[in-house]
């Protein structure tokens, strides 16, 4: 599956990471991507280099992100079309309208929403909920 839009997780890119320790200390740091482990499957995995003096974190580390937009294997397994900005707009509106919350409740209660065809917003909501479950395990 190829993406029409450039993935931000590429060698040389810098991403901002919000960090929080178990005791509540927080910081934001720049992470320089120095290696990407492809293909992305359920998560995007990369080697990053960062320095966060306030949390005494410095050096190279592995970063694993559960980003539904680039969960290639999960999208293929579930036959969900690739992410694009229009899909994101529809998904965000679904959240604002309260549809996403209701849909997640139905999914978690084992109910199948009416109709066999889900909208792009429903697909993204499902992916978000599934990725959150993966993150928590």
Q: What is the pLDDT of residues 10-69, one digit of tens each?
A: 999 999 999 999 999 999 999 999 999 999 999 999 999 999 998 989 999 999 999 999
In a domain, 8, yes or no: no
In a domain, 38, yes or no: yes
In a domain, 61, yes or no: yes
Tell me which of 32, 50, 65 is where a domain ends: 65
Residue 44, exposed/middle/buried by CB under 10 A (0-12, 13-18, 19+)?
A: buried
Give the residue with greater pLDDT, 114 vs 119. Answer: 119
What is the DSSP pairing of strand 44-52 with strand 26-37?
antiparallel
In sequence order, what DSSP letters do the residues of 58-104 get, joined into one string?
A: EEEEEEEE--GGG-HHHHHHTTPPPP-HHHHHHHHHHHHTTHHHHHH
Residue 3, exposed/middle/buried by CB under 10 A (0-12, 13-18, 19+)?
A: middle
Distance of alpha carbon 45 from alpha carbon 120, whole angstroms:
25
Q: Residue 4: pLDDT above 60? A: no
* Shared domain check, 132 and 95: yes
Q: How many domains does the chain have?
A: 2
Domain extent at residue 21: 13-65
The whole-number pLDDT of residue 3 equals 42
* Shared domain check, 21 and 55: yes
Q: Which helix H or strand E contains 23, and what residues bound it?
A: none
The whole-number pLDDT of residue 104 equals 94
Helix, strand or coil for residue 2? Answer: coil
* Shared domain check, 121 and 84: yes
| Alpha-carbon separation of residue 46 from 58, 62, 78 (angstroms) | 16, 6, 24
- What is the average pLDDT across 97-108? 94
Query: What residues does 60 pair with on adjacent strands?
Result: 49
């Amino acid at each position: 599956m190829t993406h029409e839009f450039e993935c931000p997780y590429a060698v040389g890119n810098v991403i901002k990471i919000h960090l929080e320790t178990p005791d509540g200390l927080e910081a934001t740091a720049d992470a320089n991507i120095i290696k990407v482990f492809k293909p992305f499957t359920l998560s995007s995995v990369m080697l990053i280099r960062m320095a966060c003096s306030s949390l005494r974190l410095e050096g190279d580390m592995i970063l694993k992100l559960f980003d539904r937009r680039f969960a290639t294997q999960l999208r293929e397994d579930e036959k969900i079309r690739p992410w694009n900005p229009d899909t994101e707009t529809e998904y965000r509106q679904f959240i604002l309208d309260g549809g996403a919350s209701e849909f997640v409740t139905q999914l978690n209660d084992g109910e199948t929403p009416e109709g066999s065809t889900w909208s792009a917003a429903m697909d993204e909501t499902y992916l978000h909920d599934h990725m959150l479950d993966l993150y928590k395990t």
